[in-house]
Amino acid sequence: MPQVPEPRIQTNKVEEEVGKMSFIVYDLIFLALFTLFAIIFLYRRKQGLKRQGWLFLYHTKLGLRFMDVTAQKFRKILWPLQYVIIALGYVLLAAISWLLVRSTYDYVTSPYLAEAIKIPPLLPLFPYFPQVFKIESLFPPFYFTYFLVAVGLVAVGHEFAHGIFARLNNVRIKSTGFAFLGPFFGAFVEQDDKDMNKKSKRAQLAILGAGVFANVIMAVIFGLILWGFFALSFAPAGVEFNTYGTSILNVSEIETINGVPISILSVEKLDGNITNITYQNKLYFVNGLSLKNTIENNLSLISAYDDSPALRTGLAGPILAINGQPVGNIEELRVELRSYSPGEEIVVTTLNDKVRKDTSITLGERDGKAYLGIGINMPPQGGLGGWMRNALWKIKDPFVHYEPVWGGDFAWFIYYLIWWIALINLLVALVNMLPLGILDGGRFFYLTVWGITGKEIIGKRAFSIATWFFLGLLGLMMVRWVFTLF
């Protein structure tokens, strides 16, 4: 029986190899050197080092003059920009609140979502998490190098923006510095809380929202850099596919399952293995568990794999050429296949583990045309996640196989570094506006309710309720995930 791969968003084989090559060695060397540098640096400046629980905080005056000069020199631009910052803050607060509520509902109520997504719903970014949770097909490699560079840029930009707008509103900055937890670090700006609390709510909202505003700007800038770098460094070289051809079948018209008439089959025996079925005297393949759930829930339709040439030959890997004719994208592949007739034999060139492989395939027939039998499963397009994904696809189509025009694997290394910098900036901007007590969004929400009601006590109560509500949603998803382990 053909081995049918489960549908997934498939990344290029060449790209997946990046995480398995010598970059890991260089990455660990970089981590060791960075850790050694941090230890020596902090030891020599231990007078500015303070311990706070598990964290080591290094206080300095670095950047204070830069904040003062920037705030004064660009005052005419920055002052009206505060209204844009506040408006963006509300947009992000609403977006992340809606996204978390909707995600929790889908995650808890769906019978399949938690099982399909193997990673915990509450997962901090840490190096090599795609390898740890075996989700390399969804995320590119995430090295220590990426983590340290991206977090450094994100944290410094975020905190300095807070500092600049604090100085714009005459809030004193006591110090700047870095927080260390082992080899990991972040930045901070220590403001004078008494000065901050004396300022108007508008000024406080602008200062609080400045950090995420900087992250959004950096996400846009690095997104443009990513687009330019990719356009100059890579060229289409093949077609990626993530499944085989499928058809929608009426369950009531299925004739046999694994050779047994459906009328006498015991549905309970079906499992997650690939099952063959006959339908209108044609052979199809379907996941047994999916078929079982469809029948038990009295659903009328099911998607099944066609008995196609691609499936029969186990075609895998990006398709580079048909009979020696290069195909750089889906449309070029379609045009090339139209030049053949059903029953003709072609040679399909694919890439498997960096090795070109030629496979002879006799084309099938579908709707009177030559049929190879590969397919593309598109993920859901709606919501904020769909918008982010579509924006990234405008840079790099996930169903096109690309080859670097210079630098080989090093070009992929740089591409993914920029990719992570842009993505982490965007994620930090969103998550930091969640109305939780420890985040900027928490105080942002509290000041807003206080300003609307005119009563601080109501603001505090709303802040407390929001914090526990969203913590409850996160906890609910984690409990649902834990149940999937048993």
pLDDT in tens, 151-191: 889 988 999 999 999 999 999 998 888 777 666 667 778 88
Q: What single-letter DSSP state applies at residue 464?
A: H
d(CA 146, CA 150): 6
pLDDT in tens, 52-75: 776 777 778 888 899 999 999 999
Q: In residues, how long is the chain?
A: 486
d(CA 36, CA 32): 6
Q: Which residue has the tokens 């990234």?
A: 392
Q: Which secondary-structure segment (H or E) carries 455?
A: none
| Same domain membership, residue 224 and residue 251 | no
**319-322/345-352 β-pairing:** antiparallel
Domain count, the chain: 2
Q: Mark which of 375, 404, 428 sits at the end of a domain.
A: 375
| Same domain membership, residue 277 and residue 194 | no
Q: Is residue 5 part of a domain?
A: no
Query: What domain range is 368 assigned to?
Result: 243-375
| Same domain membership, residue 254 and residue 226 | no
| Same domain membership, residue 247 and residue 230 | no
Burial class of 66 by CB neighbour count within 10 A (0 to 12, 13 to 18, 19+):
middle
Higher pLDDT, 58 or 373: 373
Q: Is residue 67 part of a domain?
A: yes
Q: Is residue 341 part of a domain?
A: yes
| Same domain membership, residue 179 and residue 55 | yes
Q: Mark which of 350, 375, 400 sits at the end of a domain.
A: 375
Long-range CB contact pairs, 97-101, < 8 A, 24+: 97/434, 97/435, 97/470, 99/383, 99/384, 99/385, 99/430, 100/434, 100/470, 100/473, 100/474, 101/473
d(CA 415, CA 286): 38
Mean pLDDT of 292-309: 86
| Same domain membership, residue 190 and residue 70 | yes
| Same domain membership, residue 251 and residue 230 | no
What pLDDT is recorded for position 133? Answer: 81
| Same domain membership, residue 428 and residue 346 | no
| Encoded tokens for 207 | 């200062």
| Same domain membership, residue 351 and residue 257 | yes
| Same domain membership, residue 477 and residue 340 | no
CA contacts within 13 A on the Cβ side of 183: 17
The string of DSSP codes covering 314-349 is T--S-EEEETTEE--SHHHHHHHHHTS-TT-EEEEE
| Same domain membership, residue 167 and residue 281 | no
Task: Choose the most confident range, by mean pLDDT, from 128-142, 210-224, 238-252, 273-287.
Answer: 210-224
pLDDT in tens, 83-119: 999 999 999 999 999 999 998 988 888 766 766 677 7
* Tally of CB atoms within 10 A around 15: 18
Q: Is residue 33 part of a domain?
A: yes
